Amino acid sequence: MSKTIELKKKVLSENDALAAELRATLGEKGIFSLNFVSSPGSGKTSLLERTLRELKDELNITLVAGDVQTENDANRLIAAGGEQVKPLVTGGSCHLDARMIHRLLPEINLDNTDLFIVENVGNLVCPSGYDLGEDMKVVLISVTEGDDKPLKYPSMFRRSSVMVINKIDMLELCDFSMERVRENALRINGDLKIFETSCRTGEGLEEWYAWLKEQVKQKKA
């Protein structure tokens, strides 16, 4: 005789529980937190380098730099003036999970943190399902990629709150339409906040910084 037993359990329930714990810990201290996701090479590290360099006198930023194999990104971020940068090498894994962040917590001085940023592994599929306890996901896309990326990776764009369109200084060289990418992204997620930036020329970065500072202020309030 066979019998069916209801379980109704989320496969990632362990991850979700740890993420909830992280969110509560960061929330109690009034720390605003972001999870940066994108394809490899969209410019996550470049944007974070400039952000660290240009906001270091105004915000204490703690950064966890996820990388599949090297600590190169973390080294770049330290060179950019990051005072609290933690490398997180996954050793092949295609995404970060809440346990990895949780394990790093004892090494992090949260009392000296206004903004907590996790730079995820470059991948638009796998990191989408793993909550890291962040307030928001920021998805980057660069103009050297296809403007249909939001339609190809709907899960990631749907779960993100912010989209940064990077490398806009190269727009003329690419068959990338700013209008189409906005249309595609907003079709998937009408609530997306969108920024256009170039980490080479600095275009659009002032708006990005202003938004970041405002979010940090609101979280502290």
Partner 1 sequence: MHELSIAQSILEIVLREAEKQKPARVVAVGLKIGALSGIYADSLEFGFDAIKKGTPLEECRLEIEEVAIRGQCHQCGHVFDVRELLFACPLCASGSIELKHGQELDIAYIEIDEETEDWHVK
Residues in contact with partner 1 by CB under 8 A are 1-14, 93-95, 123, 125-126, 128-129, 151, 154-156, 158-159, 186-191
We find the least distance from the C-beta atom of residue 186 to partner 1, in angstroms, to be: 6
Minimum Å gap between C-beta 211 and partner 1 is 19
Report the side by side order of strands in the sheet with 61-67: 84-89, 61-67, 115-119, 32-37, 136-142, 162-166, 193-196
63 or 156: CB nearest partner 1: 156
Q: Which is nearer to partner 1, 185 or 216 (CB)?
A: 185
Question: Which three-class secondary structure state does DSSP give residue 172?
Answer: helix
Largest alpha-carbon pair distance within the chain? 70
Q: Which is nearer to partner 1, 13 or 172 (CB)?
A: 13
Least Å distance, CB 106 to partner 1, is: 25
8 vs 175, beta carbon nearer partner 1: 8
Contact 121, 94 (CB under 8 A): yes
Q: CB 54 → partner 1: shortest distance, Å? A: 32
